[in-house]
Amino acid sequence: MTLTTTQPSLIDPFGRTISYLRVSVTDRCDFRCVYCMAEDMTFLPKRDLLTLEELDRLCSAFIARGVKKLRLTGGEPLVRKNLMSLIEGLSRHLMSGDLEELTLTTNGSQLRQHAQALYQHGVRRVNVSLDTLDADKFKAITRWGDFDRVMDGIQAAQDAGLKVKLNAVALRGFNEDEIPSMIAFAHERDMDLTLIETMPLGDIDGDRTDQYLPLSQVRKGLEGAFTLTDLPDQTGGPARYVRIEETGGRLGFITPLTHNFCESCNRVRVTCTGTLYMCLGQDDAADLREPLRASEGDELLQRAIDEAIGRKPKGHDFVIDRTGQAPAVARHMSMTGG
């Protein structure tokens, strides 16, 4: 069935059209990355989560308002039971042309099992979080992760025809010396690499001031070894890209602290409980679960979405310094969705 977008587009108070939706399908994960979670995380009771049918309906409501790119996240999205049925259902919007891209962010641990099905249901690109190429360091930073399994998953994804982009959080004293080798690893395998500054989200049993590595500093160091050419490329997200002339590959920088990307923000996030966050770095949110469940029609849901978009802020308030060690927002990244 073709979905006709007859309702007006979602435009925030600063004239930005919302065309990109990130939806967390679960807060659970099979890793416990040290910059993302505490090791003894308490997860939401399953009854609080939207059902797969509700997630489909919610995503479809946004697509009816002009959302063209949909990214499924977690936690780790592929640990959500029967997730492929949701992806299969959402693929109808790809076939109708109302949705341009359906993709997901994953830690790679489950890709061997699901890569073929993802491609079959219209997914053409996945982001894999990978912060180091050293198996021992990988185990240390993920606490529970298996490096070889992730490598196997990446290969399975490429074998299935999926385009893979690697995401690495740049962490002082941990992987800053590995960045050139990670560039080589990615580009030799036809993968983009995007570096991300650590973000002050949630209590992680540690001090982020020791982790924080400005990407302006990283770029300056890379310019001593590589030729970096700025690119106008946009993938709908916050990354700014350069081409590494020596490899021919792309390197992205996501810099929420040193050079924020708020002026062009075209995205919102919905958690697995149906909470809409208009900004990753602000606590203001809107409950979409109640209007979703209050009626079989979408009138109440669309009204709640409109009201929320009408108060989307101009930007976030991320900062990391010694005087403000509390996280900018209390919720963990795994709750909001990556």
Q: What pLDDT does 57 receive?
A: 98
| Residue 144 exposure: Cα atoms within 13 Å on the Cβ side | 13
CA 260 to chain CA centroid, nearest Å = 16
Partners of 166 in the β-ladder: 128, 193
Domains and CATH numbers, the chain: 20-167+262-336 (3.20.20.70)
Q: Taking 80 as the threshold, does the pLDDT of residue 284 lie above it?
A: yes
Longest dimension (CA), the chain: 59
SS3 at position 36: coil
pLDDT at 204: 43
Distance CA 144, CA 142 (A): 5
Q: What gap in Å lies between CA 129 and CA 73, rounded to an integer?
A: 11
Quick: pLDDT tens for 99-157.
999 999 999 999 999 999 999 999 999 999 999 999 999 999 998 899 999 999 999 99
The pLDDT, as a whole number, for residue 236 is 62
275-277/267-270 β-pairing: antiparallel
Contact predicate 25/74, CB 8 Å: yes
Could you report the per-residue pLDDT of 80-92, keeping only the tens digit for each? 999 999 999 999 9
Show the DSSP H helices in the chain as ranges. Answer: 52-63, 83-96, 111-120, 135-142, 147-159, 179-188, 215-222, 289-294, 299-309, 333-336
Lowest mean pLDDT segment, chosen from 36-50, 101-115, 166-180, 275-289 = 36-50
pLDDT of residue 313: 87
Query: Rounded to two decimals, what is the model's pTM?
Result: 0.87
Q: Report how far residue 295's alpha carbon sits from residue 16's, in angstroms, rounded to the nearest whole number.
A: 29
